[in-house]
């Protein structure tokens, strides 16, 4: 037997690290564990009964279509349903502005594939979604983190970084934004700042990649238009997904973009996986056509609002002074800041010993900061688990503060 495959590996594979989050998730199978770690939707929100009915209908009436290869662009009916839904929310797009991806993670991968050469820069928030950062890194991108304030990416800092990089002769390809209930920070970009980011992209000839999985999970406040809808320059490409508003188990996302961009994404997708499952696409298309997303989504939002509220109450009740946390208007996460000097990565092991888990925030910082932060998911755990989990976590943190 060969000793090692290392000398066969590509540069990209040599640098590959397992996703910290997905590795943590594997530790959490043990009974009694309360996990605030994953970004998992609550299974109670999955429309099991609706799907039973639709799966039967699709198999009976259009089984031959649903079990065959799809086109790479995706099921035309699903793309139509998605475009119409966006247009009802204020966009003005056609099915040529939409292609279906195998989850929005595939959208991130394909975007990276068509735009990034090794050494190209991507600008992202500090912090930003790890799956985005990792997708860009795997194509050799250099990440430059931009600090956030309470309204998201600080545009003065963004512009400063662009100027500095350009002065150094670096090639910047795009700005990566997660504008609504940013993962992990929970922050939403107001419209004015979205417009400012578009202006900066225009001024310095950059693209914008908008990653928007949570926008519709809003508990309060004013709904925001997609940045795509504010853009008249053609610079924005937007990634969406059914994972949080429907169910992740279908692996269906979509990309909204200019035909010239989508054209390249389609070719990239041909070699990536040919097409996304026709079966799940057609079931989803019929689900949308019947208006079931509009019927079910408010229940999901109500449940998550209740869980966020309880999470906030429990944090207030149990957490020691000097720990602070966000109050997100939507999405799935609180972002927690511990007193300086505490290390959320080392605390995580103790937390897991005490049957509670989270993701250490530093994972989301491309510049190795944020070691005193943690991301806390509130969508997955039930009321009892939220209360017990926060109590356990507070105890672990208090011990850490006392021994620090």
Residues between 45 and 74 that touch a second copy (CB under 8 A): 46, 48, 51-52, 55-56, 59-60, 63-64, 66-72
Under the binding rule (CB under 8 A), the answer on residue 278 touching a second copy is: yes
Under the binding rule (CB under 8 A), the answer on residue 187 touching a second copy is: no
Q: Which of 212, 197, 205 is nearest to 172 (CA)?
A: 205
Place of tokens 């491309």: 366
Smallest distance, a second copy to C-beta of residue 157, A: 23
Of 131 and 328, the one with the shorter C-beta distance to a second copy is 131
Smallest distance, a second copy to C-beta of residue 225, A: 19
Of 26 and 88, the one with the shorter C-beta distance to a second copy is 26
Q: Give dist(CA 72, CA 268) in Å, integer.
A: 10
**Contact residue for a second copy among 194, 251, 307, 375 (CB under 8 A):** 251
Under the binding rule (CB under 8 A), the answer on residue 186 touching a second copy is: no
Q: Give dist(CA 40, CA 25) in Å, integer.
A: 10
As to burial, measured by CB atoms within 10 angstroms (0-12 exposed, 13-18 middle, 19+ buried), residue 404 is exposed
Helix (H), strand (E) at residue 149: strand 142-149
Under the binding rule (CB under 8 A), the answer on residue 395 touching a second copy is: no
The residues facing 101 across adjacent strands are 253
**Contact residue for a second copy among 214, 228, 279, 315 (CB under 8 A):** 279
**Contact residue for a second copy among 43, 119, 190, 341 (CB under 8 A):** 43
Binders of a second copy among residues 9 to 28 (CB under 8 A) are 9-13, 16-19, 22, 25-26
Smallest distance, a second copy to C-beta of residue 147, A: 25
Secondary structure, 3-state, 74-140: CCHHHHHHHHHHHHHCCCCCCHHHEEEECHHHHHHHHHHHHHCCCCCEEEEEECCCHHHHHHHHHCC
Encoded one letter per residue, x for contact with a second copy by CB under 8 A and - for no contact, window 70-109 reads: xxx----------------------------xxx-xx-xx
Torsion sign, CA atoms 398, 335, 28, 35: positive
Of 176 and 325, the one with the shorter C-beta distance to a second copy is 176
Three-state secondary-structure class, residue 218: strand
**Contact residue for a second copy among 24, 37, 41, 74 (CB under 8 A):** 41
- Window contacting a second copy (CB under 8 A); options: 80-88, 188-196, 243-251, 348-356: 243-251
Of 73 and 400, the one with the shorter C-beta distance to a second copy is 73
Three-state secondary-structure class, residue 189: coil
CA 191 vs CA 82, 97, 104, 329: distances in Å = 23, 22, 23, 15
Binders of a second copy among residues 107 to 136 (CB under 8 A) are 108-109, 113-117, 120, 131, 134-135
CA 202 vs CA 108, 163, 234: distances in Å = 22, 14, 10
**Contact residue for a second copy among 170, 191, 258, 345 (CB under 8 A):** 258
Of 131 and 331, the one with the shorter C-beta distance to a second copy is 131
């Amino acid at each position: 037997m060969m000793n090692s495959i290392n000398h066969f590996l590509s540069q990209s594979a040599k640098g590959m690290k397992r996703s910290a989050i997905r590795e943590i998730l594997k530790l959490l199978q043990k009974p009694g564990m309360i996990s605030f770690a994953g970004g998992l939707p609550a299974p109670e929100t999955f429309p099991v009964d609706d799907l039973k009915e639709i799966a039967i209908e699709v198999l009976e009436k259009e089984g031959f279509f649903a079990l065959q290869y799809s086109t790479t662009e995706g099921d035309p009916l699903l793309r139509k349903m998605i475009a119409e839904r966006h247009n009802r929310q204020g966009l003005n797009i056609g099915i040529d502005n939409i292609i279906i991806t195998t989850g929005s993670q595939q959208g991130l991968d394909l975007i990276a594939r068509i735009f990034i050469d090794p050494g190209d820069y991507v600008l992202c928030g500090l912090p930003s979604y790890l799956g985005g950062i990792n997708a860009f890194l795997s194509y050799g991108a250099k990440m430059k983190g931009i600090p956030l304030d309470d309204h998201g990416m600080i545009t003065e800092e963004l512009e400063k970084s662009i100027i500095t990089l350009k002065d150094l002769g670096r090639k910047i390809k795009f700005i990566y934004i997660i504008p609504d209930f940013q993962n992990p920070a929970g922050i939403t970009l107001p419209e004015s700042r979205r417009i400012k980011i578009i202006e900066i992209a225009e001024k310095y000839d950059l693209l914008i990649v908008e990653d928007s999985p949570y926008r519709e999970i809003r508990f309060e406040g004013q709904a925001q238009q997609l940045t795509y809808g504010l853009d008249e320059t053609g610079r924005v490409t937007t990634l969406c997904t059914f994972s949080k508003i429907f169910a992740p188990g279908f692996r269906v996302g979509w990309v909204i973009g200019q035909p010239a961009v989508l054209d390249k994404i389609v070719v990239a997708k041909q070699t990536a996986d040919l097409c996304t499952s026709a079966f799940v696409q057609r079931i989803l298309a019929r689900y949308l056509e019947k208006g079931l997303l509009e019927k079910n989504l408010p229940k999901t939002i109500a449940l998550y609002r209740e869980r966020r509220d309880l999470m906030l109450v429990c944090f207030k009740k149990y957490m020691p002074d000097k720990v602070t946390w966000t109050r997100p208007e939507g999405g799935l996460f609180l972002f927690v800041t511990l007193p300086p000097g505490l290390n959320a990565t080392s605390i995580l092991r103790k937390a897991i010993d005490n049957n509670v888990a989270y993701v250490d925030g530093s994972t989301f910082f491309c510049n190795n900061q944020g070691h005193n932060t943690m991301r806390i998911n509130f969508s997955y755990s039930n009321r009892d688990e939220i209360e017990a989990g926060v109590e356990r976590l507070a105890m672990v943190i208090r011990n850490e503060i006392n021994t620090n």
